[in-house]
């Protein structure tokens, strides 16, 4: 791995394009080794000097930045990079990046949604199946040796032909819909805008979507507008037999309210891959048979990570060659 310790401020004297690697010191990504032969990587996390002075030192030469996973990228940091034109986010969500500053500056951003869409959709559907059919509950029942003793395990319910509402019909949400159509489910969605080319029913707000759904699957980005988009009113509209699945961000749901609904039996079940204060998960959920939990792993498979690395490399090469970018995130 390259080290920038004790180096003077410089404009690279080789022919490799300069790319800034923005990461927390604890985030070690294989992207660095993959990109090193093709780009001159600047990595403040490898430098002994403060990040702000490192960035100021190299500011004029940095046109492209890779944001590793959910490393915060604030307006303060962006202001140290006046020549920045492109942010390549190695994540599907971009709530850790100051989007308003990017919009004002005209900075282009790409994210990893195309690399992660299929695996995230698989995980969302798996959570829905698990909640409905009590698969994890049955697994615990068998492993605990209860089958010969109690005989009967918790009864699940049919998933096929359910009315499923998808919140956020981006690439991941659309892949979820495609998969659920195969189960005979009726698909509807809520998104910032109606998508004319999509065969699913559109609802202008989440409350109406919940009223017409047996299950809600959250696939949208976390923004000021979507923070706690699932609240008491939405959960009441979903009803006692309703199921909620979240593969977006934890704060899309008012978690305290959801826990109370589940404990009281005011909602049918939940499949949660993300939480408001990760890795802390409300302990009240641990004993509930109608809740399935996973540790923020919906997007991660060996194949999706390989696709991510290829996407990051492709976008950087395209940018420095003045060619079209893939998976551009529309900042609104």
pLDDT tens digits for 181-221?
A: 999 999 999 999 999 999 999 999 999 999 999 999 999 99
- The whole-angstrom separation of Cα 21 and Cα 17 is 13
Is residue 278 annotated as a catalytic residue, yes or no?
A: yes
Q: How many CA atoms lie within 13 A of 203 on its CB side?
A: 19
Residue-level pLDDT at 4: 30
CA distance 179 to 62: 41
The predicted pLDDT at position 331 comes to 85
pLDDT of residue 43: 95
Specify whether the CB–CB gap between 222 and 254 falls below 8 A.
no
Phi/psi at 98 (5° precision) = -75, 95
How many helices (H) does the chain have, and how many strands (E)? 12, 12
pLDDT value of residue 12: 45
DSSP alpha helix (H) spans, the chain: 31-35, 51-58, 75-78, 99-105, 113-133, 135-143, 147-150, 171-181, 206-211, 232-238, 255-264, 302-320
- Report the distance separating Cα 108 and Cα 38, nearest Å: 21
7: pLDDT confidence band, cut at 50, 70 and 90? Answer: very low
Determine which one of 38, 63, 163, 296 is catalytic.
Answer: 296
CB count within 10 Å of CB 84 equals 20
- How confident is residue 41, by pLDDT bands cut at 50, 70 and 90? very high
Q: Which of 12-16, 31-35, 99-103, 142-146 has the lowest mean pLDDT?
A: 12-16
Q: What is the mean pLDDT of residues 233-252?
A: 98
Distances, alpha carbon 29 to alpha carbons 23, 43, 45, 310, in Å:
9, 12, 12, 14
Q: What percent of the chain has pLDDT over 70?
A: 96
Q: pLDDT value at position 151?
A: 79
Q: What is the pTM of this model?
A: 0.91
Q: Which of 171, 245, 170, 248 minimizes the C-alpha distance to 214?
A: 245
Rounded distance between C-alpha atoms, residue 32 and residue 43, angstroms: 9
76, 278, 303, 310: the active-site residue: 278
pLDDT class for 28, splitting at 50, 70, 90? confident
Query: What is the rounded distance in angstroms from the CA atom of residue 141 to the CA atom of residue 119?
Result: 28
Q: Is 70 exceeded by the pLDDT of residue 13?
A: no
Average per-residue pLDDT for the chain: 93
Geometric angle at alpha carbon 258, from 255 and 260, rounded to 5°: 115
Exactly one of 58, 123, 179, 249 is catalytic; name it.
249
* Predicted local distance difference test score (pLDDT) of residue 14: 63
- Catalytic: 134? no
pLDDT at 154 over 90: no
Would residue 22 show up in a list of annotated catalytic residues for this protein? no
Of 23-32, 134-143, 165-174, 287-296, least confident by mean pLDDT is 23-32
Q: pLDDT exceeding 90 applies to what percent of the chain?
A: 89
């Amino acid at each position: 791995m390259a080290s920038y310790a004790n180096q003077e401020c410089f404009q690279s004297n080789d022919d490799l394009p300069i790319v800034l690697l923005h990461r927390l010191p604890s985030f070690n990504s294989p992207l660095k080794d993959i990109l090193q032969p093709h780009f001159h990587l600047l990595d403040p996390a490898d430098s002994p000097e403060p990040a702000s002075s490192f960035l100021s030192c190299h500011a004029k030469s940095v046109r492209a930045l890779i944001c590793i996973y959910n490393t915060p990228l604030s307006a303060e940091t962006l202001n140290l990079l006046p020549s920045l034109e492109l942010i390549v986010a190695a994540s599907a969500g971009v709530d850790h990046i100051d989007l308003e500053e990017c919009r004002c500056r005209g900075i282009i951003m790409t994210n990893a949604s195309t690399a992660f869409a299929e695996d995230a959709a698989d995980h969302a559907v798996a959570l829905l199946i698990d909640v409905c059919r009590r698969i994890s509950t049955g697994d615990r029942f068998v492993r605990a040796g209860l089958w010969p003793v109690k005989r009967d395990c918790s009864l699940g319910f049919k998933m096929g032909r359910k009315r499923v509402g998808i919140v956020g019909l981006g690439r991941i949400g659309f892949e979820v819909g495609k998969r659920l159509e195969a189960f005979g489910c009726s698909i509807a969605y809520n998104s910032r805008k109606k998508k004319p080319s999509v065969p699913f029913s559109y609802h202008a707000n989440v409350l109406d979507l919940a009223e017409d759904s047996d299950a809600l699957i959250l696939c949208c980005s976390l923004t000021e507008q979507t923070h706690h988009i699932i609240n008491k009113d939405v959960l009441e509209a979903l009803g006692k037999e309703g199921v909620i699945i979240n593969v977006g961000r934890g704060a899309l749901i008012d978690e305290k309210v959801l826990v109370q609904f589940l404990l009281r039996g005011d909602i049918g079940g939940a499949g949660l891959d993300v939480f408001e204060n990760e890795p802390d998960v409300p302990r009240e959920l641990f004993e509930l048979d109608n809740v399935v939990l996973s540790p923020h792993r919906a997007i991660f498979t060996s194949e999706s990570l390989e696709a991510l690395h290829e996407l990051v490399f492709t976008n950087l090469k395209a940018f420095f060659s003045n060619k079209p970018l893939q998976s551009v995130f529309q900042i609104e």
